[in-house]
Structure 1
Amino acid sequence: MRMHGSAFRHKLLTVLLLAPATVWLVVFLVLPFVAIVVFSVGERAPEGGYQAAFTMAQYANLPARATAFWNTLILAPVGAFACLLVAYPVAYYLALRAPERWRLILLALIVIPFWTSLLMRTYAWMYILGGRGIPALLSYIGIEDLRLINTPGAVLLGIVYGYLPLMILPIYVSLERLDRRLLEASADLGAKPLSTFVGVTLRLSLPGVMTGLSLVMILLLGEYLIPSLLGGGKVFFIGNALVDLFLQSRNWPFGSAIAVTLVFVSVVVLIIANRVSTRFSGARQVDLI
């Protein structure tokens, strides 16, 4: 009886500890998503908004926003991999090469931009890439009519700048946990530096790489601000389409169908990230921080 009472108290304590988070997730995540799914099979009311119905016409109409999907599915992976190319050397230096006394300071310098609103930082890039920024400076040396703002390149630059810390930190965590003795053993066995990097360092840091890619990719799938400001309405993401459908066109069912599709794509990205991490590094799942 005493053992059963102890087990009951343990289960009760577990339920009490999990209850707040469970209620929070159900109220603010599950129920809103259920509402979006219900909206997605409805119809647009004559005055805008939602009208009860059961139809798959909204999903059949997804090709109408093919440009937004195409831009997102092209620029989001390209932006994520561009972040990776910049972030990995930085994380590698911080974890394996930087003096330990400087490590926290350097990490703080990476995180500090997050203390400033992304809106303000993006406006700063609008000025830098605008007519009075870099193009004005280049005009002094004879390079005229160079357009940087309102282009896919400007959007990619804003993506790398805005999301770089989210890529650096997971990779840094994976590299910082790396057992240095494995690197020494690889060198002692005659492996060249490049072989050691590919076979040991990169392989064991792959969970952090996949975590960074997943975080950046999922956030970029719903990105609105950077394409709107640096793309000038010419580089349209799914996030821009959702804002237009919910706030301007007031076509809630069609916007909900796009949102449900976006959630599905995000889940696929996470599954692929975990599969790749498990396949190539042997880790059970992608490390999250």
Structure 2
Amino acid sequence: MTRVGRRIAELSVLLGPVTLFLAVFFLGPLIIMMIYSWLAPGLYGGVEWQFYPHNFGRILGFADPAFEEFDPVYLSIFFRSLKIALITTFCTLLVCYPAAFQIAQLPDRWKAFCLFLITLPFFTSLIVRLFIWVLILRPTGLINGLFMWTGLISKPFELIYTDGAIIIGMVYIFIPFMFMPIYASVEKLDWSLVRASQDLGANGFKTFLRIILPLTMPGIIGGMIIVFIPALGNFIVPAVLGGAKVLMMGNLIEQQFLYARNWPFGAALAMLVMTAVLVLLWFYVRYEMRRDDDAAVTR
């Protein structure tokens, strides 16, 4: 066997189990969901094997008037989910970007300690952490109790079961997911370029805009994608902190599969979320390809 053949055989042995696992447990359910989204709902749940595009019509406006009805509430829920996911991504970026620079400049032993603190919430149940926020945000919770004790307010704020409560909960959960890619980019930052920019007369803002930001942009984009994708389809945080007042796409999909038993419509909603994610990933791949081309030209 030639050297190339041996190399291909080694890669097949190493990557074969992982590829098979992803094909069965990721692509398989995704294909099933895609097929179900174009089938008719069964009378008592499940699906009927006939082509039925009106599941998407209920969402996008071309529903079959004999059996389905277009309701703009589904699009409003989608755009609300999109808005909350974008705000969550932006807020986690505002928190993590300066924190990554501060931690990167610490001595090694303090770096390890800070990284441990950031990952520490993973050692606690997510439900427990969310119900702690319920205790903090409820009308008789810590925040309202503190403001009423100081006399700043006469009646409690409505903090729980709002969009703001969901954003707070998701920012709290996704901070580690945003921090790690940004921190990896900051750690690899060549500070000699920053000093050279300052020596050549650039002020702090120009140095940040032309040197620091482009060099840390891969970590920023990676963190934004890692946060935005699960935030868009999240259903645990809205269920606990949003209650029945705030409905997001994840909760709507859960209701269609588990309670309404309209699997095709739930699959169509899931495909809408998946399309938004694929569009985001397409822009990311385009950005990476353009960045590689620019790097090849400069060489």
Distance 2:286 2:5 in 1: 37
In the other structure, the counterpart of 2:134 is 126
Contact kept? 1:224, 1:237, Cα under 8 Å: yes
Using the TM superposition, give the Cα deviation of residue 92 of structure 1 relative to its aligned residue in structure 2, in angstroms: 1.3
Using the TM superposition, give the Cα deviation of residue 116 of structure 1 relative to its aligned residue in structure 2, in angstroms: 1.0
In the other structure, the counterpart of 2:110 is 102
Equivalent of 2:88 in 51, 74, 79: 79
- Find runs of 4+ consecutive structure 1 residues off by over 4 angstroms: 276-284
Distance 1:281 1:231 in 2: 42
In the other structure, the counterpart of 1:251 is 262
Aligned CA RMSD, in angstroms, stands at 1.8
Distance 2:184 2:289 in 1: 17
Percent identical residues: 36
Counterpart residue type for residue 13 of structure 2: L
1:28 equivalent in alignment to 2:25 = yes
Contact kept? 2:78, 2:249, Cα under 8 Å: yes
Using the TM superposition, give the Cα deviation of residue 237 of structure 1 relative to its aligned residue in structure 2, in angstroms: 1.0
Task: Indicate how the Cα distance of structure 1 residues 281 and 130 shifts in structure 2: closer, same or farther if over 3 A, else same.
Answer: farther
Task: Indicate how the Cα distance of structure 1 residues 119 and 281 shifts in structure 2: closer, same or farther if over 3 A, else same.
Answer: farther
Task: Indicate how the Cα distance of structure 1 residues 226 and 214 shifts in structure 2: closer, same or farther if over 3 A, else same.
Answer: same
Equivalent of 1:90 in 95, 99, 108: 99
Using the TM superposition, give the Cα deviation of residue 283 of structure 1 relative to its aligned residue in structure 2, in angstroms: 7.9
Counterpart residue type for residue 45 of structure 1: G
Distance 1:77 1:56 in 2: 30
In the other structure, the counterpart of 1:287 is none
Task: Indicate how the Cα distance of structure 1 residues 234 and 191 shifts in structure 2: closer, same or farther if over 3 A, else same.
Answer: same
In the other structure, the counterpart of 2:226 is 215
Partner of 1:132, secondary structure, is coil
Q: 1:68-117: per-residue Cα shift (whole Å, max 9, x none)?
A: 2021111110110011011111011112x222331111111111111112
In the other structure, the counterpart of 2:76 is 67
Contact kept? 1:246, 1:255, Cα under 8 Å: yes
Counterpart residue type for residue 56 of structure 1: P
Distance 1:275 1:233 in 2: 39
Larger relative contact order (Cα-Cα within 8 Å, sequence gap ≥ 6): 1
1:188 equivalent in alignment to 2:199 = yes
Contact kept? 2:139, 2:156, Cα under 8 Å: no
What is the TM-score with the length of structure 1 in the denominator? 0.92
Counterpart residue type for residue 55 of structure 1: Y
Using the TM superposition, give the Cα deviation of residue 141 of structure 1 relative to its aligned residue in structure 2, in angstroms: 2.7
Distance 2:220 2:209 in 1: 13
In the other structure, the counterpart of 2:123 is 115
Task: Indicate how the Cα distance of structure 1 residues 71 and 244 shifts in structure 2: closer, same or farther if over 3 A, else same.
Answer: same
Q: Give the paired residue count.
A: 280
Contact kept? 2:179, 2:223, Cα under 8 Å: yes
Distance 2:268 2:234 in 1: 17
Partner of 1:205, secondary structure, is helix
In the alignment, structure 2 segments of 5+ residues that lack a partner are 61-70
Partner of 1:53, secondary structure, is strand
Using the TM superposition, give the Cα deviation of residue 276 of structure 1 relative to its aligned residue in structure 2, in angstroms: 4.3
